[in-house]
Amino acid sequence: MKLKNLICSVILALVAIDSQAQYVTNFYLTDLDNETLKETAQKNISTLLTEFNMAQADGRALNLGGIQISERAQADLNKLWAESPFRCGDTEMIERCLLMHDKSYQVRNIQIFMKGAEDEEEYHEAVIGFNAEGAISDFHLAIDNNLYLKVLKRGTDVTDLRYRQMILDYVEQFRTAYNTKDIAFLEQIFSDDALIITGKVVKSVPSEMNNFMPQDKVVYNKQSKKQYITNLSRVFRNNKHIRVIFDEIKVMKHPAKANYYGVTLKQGYSSDNYSDVGYLFLLWDFNNPDMPQIHVRTWQPDKIGDQPLPEEEIFTCDDFDIV
């Protein structure tokens, strides 16, 4: 009887081990010569990705104990997790290690699948940053890798690689803040005197004196930072899921003002009961690289009626004077 019980216990233990094994993701780095740093970072990232898989399968909160991870990264992960639990899409990953502008390290192309509306899974890519000790220092959603590489390799308007990395990093954090409803980050990133402009398409109505066919046109509404943040807070409260994606990106150095950069993005936005596609323009001030500010945010619809918005009407740095 004792032998039979022992055999049953061994079988149950093996089943438990096998069950856990299906959630394990092993992560390996290339392009990092420091072996000690590499091993520590690999262990932390592997453990983190495995925890995503197990926590989503168990329907529980993340348990980040045993992982070397900063408080900021923990907070960002928990916000993202609260909005939509996710899992890693691979059992083994091999990715390049990138040295960043602030001497930290970053790995990209982390494939994750988030639970969206009606529990349908949505594919996203994430970024994991780690420091010189191999501890995870950052986790945020990524823009499409082709867009990232396009700016990084061909950013002729922004010749300094350091600034190209910095701009892309903050654009990704900006996107993640909308997905996680991080109103505190957005309030911090907009300057106090930020100009917020939002366009909407309206149809002209013919008068009695004029029987021409009505034509669609874009009418613009201007808001202060306070108005924008107040309205955005209401949107965040009233929607369970918000998704922001960027399909196109163009970075332009301001022609007259040092350390100012314009970023034009084609944005897809969706929430529980509303969605749109349009052009988002952000005018960034990187005079303080540790705390950049957005001075201008504009949004324009990508189409007027059935016609694409003319390229010459899309806002750029040239449309705004900086005092």
Instruction: Kindly compute the dihedral angle of the four CA atoms of residues 7, 9, 12, 14, in this order, to the nearest 10 degrees.
Output: -70
pLDDT the model gives residue 218: 80
* Distance in angstroms (rounded) separating the CA atoms of residues 208 and 116: 49
Domain C-terminal end among 125, 142, 159:
142
Q: Is the pLDDT of residue 14 over 50?
A: no
93-129 pLDDT, tens digit per residue, is 999 999 998 899 999 999 999 976 666 788 999 999 9
Q: Answer whether residue 281 shows pLDDT above 90.
A: yes
Q: Where are the alpha helices (DSSP H) in 95-251?
A: 145-154, 161-179, 183-189, 225-238
Instruction: Please list, in sequence order, all residues whose beta carbon lies within 8 angstroms of the beta carbon of residue 56, skipping any fewer than 6 positions away.
Output: 85, 86, 87, 115
Please answer whether residues 96 and 33 qualify as being in contact, where contact means their C-beta atoms are separated by less than 8 angstroms: no
As a whole number of angstroms, the distance between CA 82 and CA 74 comes to 12
- Is there a domain that residue 236 lies in? yes
Task: Tell me, yes or no, whether 4 lies in a domain.
Answer: no
Model confidence at 160: pLDDT above 50: yes
Cβ–Cβ under 8 Å, residues 272 and 240: yes
How would residue 25 be classed by pLDDT, with cut points 50, 70 and 90? very high
Residue 157 in any domain: the answer is: no
Note whether 137 and 222 are same-domain residues. no
CATH number (domain holding residue 292): 3.10.450.50
Residue 139 to residue 216: CA distance in whole angstroms: 42
**Tens-digit pLDDT profile for residues 301-321:** 999 888 899 999 999 998 888
Whether residues 95 and 227 share a domain: the answer is no
> What's this model's pTM, rounded to 2 decimal places?
0.84
Q: Where are the alpha helices (DSSP H) in the chain?
A: 2-21, 35-58, 71-83, 145-154, 161-179, 183-189, 225-238
CA distance 110 to 88: 8
Same-domain pairing of 186 and 305: yes
Rounded to whole angstroms, the Cα distance separating 83 from 181 reads 8
